[in-house]
Amino acid sequence: MTKNVKKEVNVAATAETKPEDLGVEAVLQQKLDEAQAELAAARAEIEDLTAKLAEAEDGKEALARELAALRGQSVKADTATDSREALRVRAAKGKELWRGGVLFTDQWQVVKRAEVGETAWQRIVDEPALQREEVN
Protein backbone atom coordinates (compact mmCIF):
# COMPACT_ATOMS: atom_id res chain seq x y z
CA MET A 1 0.00 0.00 0.00
CA THR A 2 1.13 3.33 -0.88
CA LYS A 3 0.09 6.51 0.77
CA ASN A 4 -1.11 9.48 -1.14
CA VAL A 5 1.37 12.14 -0.45
CA LYS A 6 0.55 15.65 -1.43
CA LYS A 7 3.38 17.71 -2.55
CA GLU A 8 3.33 21.35 -1.66
CA VAL A 9 3.95 23.57 -4.56
CA ASN A 10 4.83 27.17 -3.89
CA VAL A 11 3.53 29.39 -6.58
CA ALA A 12 4.94 32.85 -6.45
CA ALA A 13 2.54 35.55 -7.46
CA THR A 14 3.97 37.49 -10.24
CA ALA A 15 2.51 40.87 -10.84
CA GLU A 16 3.37 42.16 -14.16
CA THR A 17 2.27 45.69 -14.82
CA LYS A 18 1.33 46.40 -18.32
CA PRO A 19 1.50 49.93 -19.69
CA GLU A 20 -2.25 50.01 -20.40
CA ASP A 21 -2.94 49.08 -16.74
CA LEU A 22 -1.02 52.17 -15.60
CA GLY A 23 -3.39 54.38 -17.60
CA VAL A 24 -6.43 52.69 -16.08
CA GLU A 25 -4.98 53.10 -12.59
CA ALA A 26 -4.36 56.80 -13.23
CA VAL A 27 -7.95 57.30 -14.41
CA LEU A 28 -9.31 55.38 -11.42
CA GLN A 29 -7.11 57.37 -9.04
CA GLN A 30 -8.33 60.62 -10.59
CA LYS A 31 -11.97 59.53 -10.19
CA LEU A 32 -11.28 58.51 -6.61
CA ASP A 33 -9.74 61.91 -5.88
CA GLU A 34 -12.76 63.66 -7.42
CA ALA A 35 -15.17 61.56 -5.37
CA GLN A 36 -13.23 62.30 -2.18
CA ALA A 37 -13.28 66.03 -2.98
CA GLU A 38 -17.06 65.89 -3.50
CA LEU A 39 -17.43 64.00 -0.24
CA ALA A 40 -15.37 66.61 1.62
CA ALA A 41 -17.47 69.41 0.10
CA ALA A 42 -20.68 67.61 1.06
CA ARG A 43 -19.45 67.13 4.64
CA ALA A 44 -18.57 70.83 4.86
CA GLU A 45 -22.04 71.75 3.58
CA ILE A 46 -23.64 69.39 6.12
CA GLU A 47 -21.68 71.04 8.94
CA ASP A 48 -22.74 74.49 7.71
CA LEU A 49 -26.40 73.46 7.48
CA THR A 50 -26.21 71.83 10.91
CA ALA A 51 -24.89 75.09 12.38
CA LYS A 52 -27.69 77.06 10.69
CA LEU A 53 -30.25 74.58 11.99
CA ALA A 54 -28.90 74.98 15.53
CA GLU A 55 -29.20 78.77 15.21
CA ALA A 56 -32.77 78.43 13.94
CA GLU A 57 -33.63 76.10 16.83
CA ASP A 58 -32.22 78.65 19.30
CA GLY A 59 -34.34 81.35 17.69
CA LYS A 60 -37.38 79.08 17.78
CA GLU A 61 -36.85 78.39 21.49
CA ALA A 62 -36.49 82.12 22.21
CA LEU A 63 -39.73 82.83 20.34
CA ALA A 64 -41.47 80.01 22.20
CA ARG A 65 -40.39 81.50 25.54
CA GLU A 66 -41.58 84.95 24.44
CA LEU A 67 -44.92 83.51 23.30
CA ALA A 68 -45.34 81.69 26.61
CA ALA A 69 -44.65 84.93 28.48
CA LEU A 70 -47.17 86.83 26.35
CA ARG A 71 -49.76 84.10 26.85
CA GLY A 72 -49.12 84.30 30.59
CA GLN A 73 -49.77 88.05 30.50
CA SER A 74 -52.93 87.45 28.48
CA VAL A 75 -54.16 84.87 30.98
CA LYS A 76 -53.52 87.33 33.83
CA ALA A 77 -55.53 90.01 32.01
CA ASP A 78 -58.36 87.56 31.29
CA THR A 79 -58.37 86.42 34.91
CA ALA A 80 -58.79 90.00 36.04
CA THR A 81 -61.66 90.44 33.59
CA ASP A 82 -63.24 87.13 34.56
CA SER A 83 -63.31 88.06 38.24
CA ARG A 84 -65.70 90.92 37.48
CA GLU A 85 -69.43 90.41 37.75
CA ALA A 86 -70.35 93.00 35.10
CA LEU A 87 -68.72 94.80 32.17
CA ARG A 88 -69.61 97.64 29.84
CA VAL A 89 -69.30 96.26 26.33
CA ARG A 90 -69.73 97.55 22.78
CA ALA A 91 -68.80 96.47 19.25
CA ALA A 92 -65.32 97.77 18.44
CA LYS A 93 -66.02 98.72 14.81
CA GLY A 94 -69.54 99.98 15.42
CA LYS A 95 -71.15 97.13 13.49
CA GLU A 96 -73.74 94.88 15.06
CA LEU A 97 -72.29 91.71 16.52
CA TRP A 98 -73.97 88.80 18.26
CA ARG A 99 -71.85 87.10 20.88
CA GLY A 100 -73.03 84.84 23.68
CA GLY A 101 -76.69 85.48 22.84
CA VAL A 102 -76.30 89.25 23.20
CA LEU A 103 -76.49 91.80 20.38
CA PHE A 104 -73.71 94.39 20.61
CA THR A 105 -73.79 97.70 18.73
CA ASP A 106 -71.70 100.86 18.84
CA GLN A 107 -73.46 101.85 22.10
CA TRP A 108 -72.05 100.83 25.48
CA GLN A 109 -74.22 98.36 27.37
CA VAL A 110 -73.82 96.63 30.70
CA VAL A 111 -73.50 92.84 30.56
CA LYS A 112 -73.92 90.98 33.83
CA ARG A 113 -72.21 87.65 34.29
CA ALA A 114 -75.11 86.14 36.23
CA GLU A 115 -77.59 87.04 33.46
CA VAL A 116 -75.65 85.61 30.47
CA GLY A 117 -74.08 82.54 32.09
CA GLU A 118 -70.46 81.35 32.21
CA THR A 119 -70.18 80.08 28.62
CA ALA A 120 -71.57 83.28 27.09
CA TRP A 121 -69.51 85.39 29.51
CA GLN A 122 -66.30 83.67 28.40
CA ARG A 123 -67.18 84.20 24.72
CA ILE A 124 -67.84 87.88 25.34
CA VAL A 125 -64.59 88.28 27.28
CA ASP A 126 -62.56 86.45 24.60
CA GLU A 127 -64.07 88.23 21.58
CA PRO A 128 -61.48 90.61 20.03
CA ALA A 129 -64.19 92.51 18.10
CA LEU A 130 -65.66 93.83 21.36
CA GLN A 131 -64.43 96.65 23.57
CA ARG A 132 -64.78 96.11 27.29
CA GLU A 133 -64.63 98.48 30.28
CA GLU A 134 -65.19 98.15 33.99
CA VAL A 135 -68.60 99.12 35.28
CA ASN A 136 -68.40 102.31 37.39
Where in the chain are the domains? 18-79, 86-134
* CA–CA dist 65, 71 (Å, integer): 10
Tell me the per-residue pLDDT of 73-108, one tens digit each, with 9 for 90 and over. 776 665 555 778 899 999 998 899 999 899 999 999
Say if residue 111 is exposed, middle or buried (CB neighbours under 10 Å; 0-12, 13-18, 19+).
buried
- Per-residue pLDDT band for 136 (boundaries 50, 70, 90) equals confident
Whether residue 97 contacts residue 54, with contact meaning beta carbons closer than 8 Å, is answered with no
Q: What is the pLDDT of residue 84?
A: 85
Higher pLDDT: 40 or 5? It is: 40
pLDDT over 70, % of the chain: 78
Side by side, the strands of the sheet bearing 109-112 are: 109-112, 86-91, 130-134
CA distance 100 to 119: 7
For the ranges 37-51, 70-84, 86-100, 118-132, the maximum mean pLDDT occurs at 37-51
Q: What are phi and psi of 74, to 5 degrees?
A: -65, -40
- Position 13 pLDDT exceeds 60: no
